Amino acid sequence: MKSVSSGTHEVHFEDLALAALNQFLGQKRYSKVFLLVDKNTKIHCLPIFKKLIDHPIDATIEIKPGEINKTIATCVKVWQELSQQGGDRKSLLINLGGGVVTDLGGFVASTFKRGIDFINIPTSLLAMVDASIGGKTGVDLGALKNQVGVINQPKMVLILPQFLKTLEERQLTSGFAEMLKHGLIADKKYWNELIQGVDFFNAKHIQYSITIKNTIVEQDPTEQSIRKKLNFGHTLGHAIESYFLEKPGLKTLLHGEAIAIGMILEGYLSHELTGLSKLERDEIKKVMLTHFNKISFEPVDIEIILDLLQHDKKNEHGNINFVLLREIGDAAIDIKVPFALFAKAFAYYKES
Amino acid sequence: MKSVSSGTHEVHFEDLALAALNQFLGQKRYSKVFLLVDKNTKIHCLPIFKKLIDHPIDATIEIKPGEINKTIATCVKVWQELSQQGGDRKSLLINLGGGVVTDLGGFVASTFKRGIDFINIPTSLLAMVDASIGGKTGVDLGALKNQVGVINQPKMVLILPQFLKTLEERQLTSGFAEMLKHGLIADKKYWNELIQGVDFFNAKHIQYSITIKNTIVEQDPTEQSIRKKLNFGHTLGHAIESYFLEKPGLKTLLHGEAIAIGMILEGYLSHELTGLSKLERDEIKKVMLTHFNKISFEPVDIEIILDLLQHDKKNEHGNINFVLLREIGDAAIDIKVPFALFAKAFAYYKES
């Protein structure tokens, strides 16, 4: 399957990915090769990966899994371990895991001794279709997601769909939310194809999603304009995700689960503000609720979520800018939303 | 006094610096302007600075002073404060302080919401002649200096020698060590001028040191080759500085004080390995000991310092690379030093 070229690096798929990795490690003379995993990928992915790679790994560093550990405290542990294990400026870090491992590992590598090389091998569908392009690295600061990070590119990204077999269904579905988003913001035909059903273990749709994201990011790497389209569903979605992450006793929502709610809510706003038809608004809601369970929000929940929204990093000069749809496949950026509409959007989400 | 252009940004001096700052803030429409100070610059520099700046400061963030607070924990406090005070991607951070404030503030700005603009106003001689060029930002990890950071450029650097009047003599002398280094690695005439005596409150020599550093950095921004020259005295100097920082009950050495010792030791190594004459080797020692008190090292101290050396970030592939002098004004990079020479270098330092 054809590699996707993302300016400074390539995204390779399946067999070609392994050939590219082994060739790269053979050519580059890294002083040490470190591997970053979490508890889950250590158990499920590392044994597979070790059979595929020709080059020795000097040390494997393990972090605790989950968004709740995507923190500066975890970074400190990884920086320390790299240092203790003799990591230097010519070391390489391979991040083998979901978005937490690739986001945090990318940030740790970008800042260790002012920057060492890293390679991302996303093992979750979400990380494959989302984190593999764009160079966003970073960690959360308390409830505020991705507050600390840098934009920096990996040396290469490897997509090996066989790792998806190690995932629970819920994790796969979470990643599917981002693929649906790619259809919604850029390609109605792709959206229609996706809602017919997808075989995740064939990299075809993953590659298509990556190509959509790459085309957008290449036109606007620093997110001044059209790259913002990728935030569809994320402005409210992030606030919802943060809220569930923080609230004691609450089940954590996966990223895609929160974004799916965000897309329904922002679909509602799109109908109100940017001309999305009622039919398409309702189609988005229906598709999302086919894949994602409905969550019940109390008025007090909504109040806190809207508070968190004020802190979202896309919030500039105190205004909250949304990406909304004109129609499925066409998104508008920098749309201001009257505050009163948020409660109505949640009411629309709630109604059956 | 003429500004020094450093590729992406300018270093402005004296009156021109203030005019440039006020014009810049008038033109750019930052959502918020934050000022970072430490306890000392808050007392001594902030009142002066407030009289000079036309633009309002939205919030002043204070950190504890000293290298011991150049940590990730301090970064977390500043990131949190920026976030709580409504900092967004269009905010500006002005770092008003010595190297700790500019290194840490530069790192915090480079990583807050994946990077906001920052301006450095170094208030110590060391920060003026060293940290003002090159874009190195970062913090320490335990005893290991600058283990975490990025290379990123400020929007501008302002040199206001009037802030030097707020410094103790010892701080001034510490900065002078870096100026002497600039002479040693690049310009014998400048070295000879400096050892005749310097008026620090005239920016002339500061500007000359900045120009030397800038010329080197522009030729090799990523420190692949000649930029390494700037590390003369720093390989052993950093290890000595780290050792004094860590050891309980020991008086902390200022950066320049440690580097001055490093330059005597590496002067010795230069005579042994790269042809520095005995005369110049001894001249370096004499000049350094005119300005910096001699420190007594016990064998156990030296052992720990050489251990710390193994962790220095310039140590690649397990080898320790030194910058040594061929003669005053001419430095050689990537010189390997036999381990046995280190004890001899310390013995040379010790002998009167």
- pLDDT in the model for residue A317: 56
The region of weakest confidence among A306-315, B154-163, B223-232 is A306-315
- A150 and B146: CB-CB below 8 Å? no
Name every chain A residue with its beta carbon within 8 A of the beta carbon of B88.
Answer: 313, 315-318
Could you say which of A111, A114, A311 has the minimum Cβ distance to residue B136?
A114
Domain A170-350 CATH superfamily: Dehydroquinate synthase-like - alpha domain (1.20.1090.10)
C-alpha span between A187 and A174 (Å, rounded): 20
- pLDDT in the model for residue A318: 59
* The CATH fold of domain B169-350: Dehydroquinate synthase-like, alpha domain (1.20.1090)
Interface test with A, best of B148, B151, B228 (most A CBs within 10 A): B148
The stretch B153-169 carries a mean pLDDT of 94
Share of chain B above pLDDT 70, in %: 97
Upper half-sphere CA count for residue A178 (Cβ side, 13 Å): 28
**Residue A297 C-alpha from the chain's centroid:** 24
From the list A270, A286, A250, A273, the residue with the least C-alpha distance to A328 is: A270
Name every chain A residue with its beta carbon within 8 A of the beta carbon of B31.
Answer: 316-318
- B318 and A86: CB-CB below 8 Å? yes
A158: Cβ–Cβ under 8 A, 6 or more apart, which residues?
A: A11, A12, A17, A18, A20, A21, A119, A120, A121
Taking an 8 Å Cβ-Cβ cutoff, which residues of chain B contact chain A?
Answer: 31, 72, 75-76, 79-80, 83, 86, 88-90, 107, 110-115, 136-138, 141-142, 144, 146-151, 311, 313-318
Closest CA in chain B for residue A137: B114
- A317 and B90: CB-CB below 8 Å? yes
Q: CB–CB of A325/A276 below 8 Å?
A: yes
How big is the CA angle at B185 (ends B184 and B187), to the nearest 5 degrees? 70
B65: Cβ–Cβ under 8 A, 6 or more apart, which residues?
A: B38, B39, B40, B100
Choose which CATH entry (3.40.50.1970, 3.30.450.20, 3.50.50.60, 3.40.50.300) describes domain A4-166.
Answer: 3.40.50.1970
Name every chain A residue with its beta carbon within 8 A of the beta carbon of B141.
Answer: 76, 79-80, 83
Name every chain A residue with its beta carbon within 8 A of the beta carbon of B320.
Answer: none
Note the pLDDT tens digit of each residue in A120-151.
Answer: 999 999 999 988 888 999 999 987 889 999 99
Name every chain A residue with its beta carbon within 8 A of the beta carbon of B77.
Answer: none
Domains in chain A: boundaries:
4-166, 170-350
| Amino acid (one-letter) located at A231 | N
Q: At B312, is the pLDDT very low, low, confident or very high (cuts 50, 70, 90)?
A: low
Q: At B313, is the pLDDT very low, low, confident or very high (cuts 50, 70, 90)?
A: very low
Could you say which of B75, B111, B142 has the minimum Cβ distance to residue A150?
B111
What is the residue-level pLDDT of chain A in tens, covering all 352 positions?
A: 899 998 789 999 999 999 999 999 999 999 999 999 999 999 999 999 999 999 999 999 999 998 889 999 999 999 999 999 999 999 999 999 999 999 999 999 999 999 999 999 999 999 999 888 889 999 999 878 899 999 999 999 999 999 999 899 999 999 999 999 999 999 999 999 999 988 888 889 999 999 999 999 999 988 889 999 999 999 999 999 989 887 877 778 999 999 999 999 999 999 999 999 999 999 999 999 999 999 999 999 999 999 888 765 455 555 689 999 999 999 999 999 999 999 999 999 999 8
